[in-house]
């Protein structure tokens, strides 16, 4: 084709696409990756999840009638305790069905994020590290500091136990294990181990997670329709 013909009949430009194809319009995809950022910025060289972006997004999702379910993909090393718990609490309080899928890793504060969903999956090769609360920087070496850290740890273990099938006692046993990690305290659970301990509901991948989410969404739709019929009858 000549240059003049090209000018008369320009070829359509390819549309820009994101790295991931869009899911059904009624499903929102939420990714929690890298390190969960706290009140200090981690910088451009560290992949992170920012609570100031996730929390408002979750509020908008809850208020959006077009969104019927949320799929949460996790591949995180953990991070800030308060920021992670804030996100986990908000996910757990959503009225819409939620399903989480642990890919690669769901370590540290990533554990409460994984169990905050209505149903959780983990791929066989993924791992989850449970360990005691840690702190960075300078702190005062007094008993009150220890008590505060202990209370923080109780908040984490209490949340995990309340949203999974593992007991708080067993969870603390795994967190304080000294036989597995080199020069460290804690336990690393592979996919099947996490399910066996009651931390995660099921082994599975993206297909299983989406199917389960659609099942929960259909159940909620049926429940709402039944409630409406009751109101009409009365």
Chain centre distance of CA 150: 24
> Which of the following is catalytic: 28, 75, 107, 131?
131
> Which of the following is catalytic: 28, 48, 75, 108?
108
Consecutive H or E run containing 56: helix 51-63
Given a contact cutoff of 8 angstroms between Cβ atoms, the answer to whether 82 and 103 are in contact is no
The alpha helices in 98-167, defined as continuous H runs, are 110-115, 143-162
Active site includes 39?
no
CA distance 223 to 230: 11
CA distance 84 to 96: 20
Active site includes 108?
yes
Chain centre distance of CA 142: 34
Point out the residues that are catalytic.
108, 131
């Amino acid at each position: 084709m000549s240059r003049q013909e090209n000018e008369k009949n320009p070829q359509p430009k390819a549309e820009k696409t994101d790295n991931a194809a869009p899911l059904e319009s009624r499903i929102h995809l939420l990714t929690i990756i890298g390190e969960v950022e706290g009140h200090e910025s981690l910088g451009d060289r560290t992949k992170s999840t920012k609570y100031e972006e996730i929390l408002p997004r979750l509020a908008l999702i809850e208020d959006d009638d077009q969104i019927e379910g949320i799929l949460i993909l996790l591949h995180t090393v953990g991070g800030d305790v308060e920021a992670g718990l804030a996100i986990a609490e908000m996910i757990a309080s959503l009225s819409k069905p939620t399903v989480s899928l642990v890919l690669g890793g769901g370590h540290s504060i990533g554990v409460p994020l994984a169990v905050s969903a209505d149903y959780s999956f983990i791929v066989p090769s993924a791992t989850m590290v449970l360990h005691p609360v840690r702190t960075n920087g300078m702190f005062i070496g007094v008993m009150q500091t220890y008590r505060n850290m202990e209370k923080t740890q109780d908040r984490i273990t209490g949340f995990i136990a309340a949203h999974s099938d593992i007991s708080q006692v067993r969870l603390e046993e795994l967190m304080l294990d000294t036989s597995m990690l080199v020069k460290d305290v804690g336990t690393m659970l592979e996919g099947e181990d996490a399910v066996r301990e009651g931390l995660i509901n099921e082994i599975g991948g993206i297909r299983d997670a989406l199917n389960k989410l659609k099942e929960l969404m259909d159940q909620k739709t049926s429940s709402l329709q039944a409630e409406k019929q009751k109101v009409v009858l009365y």
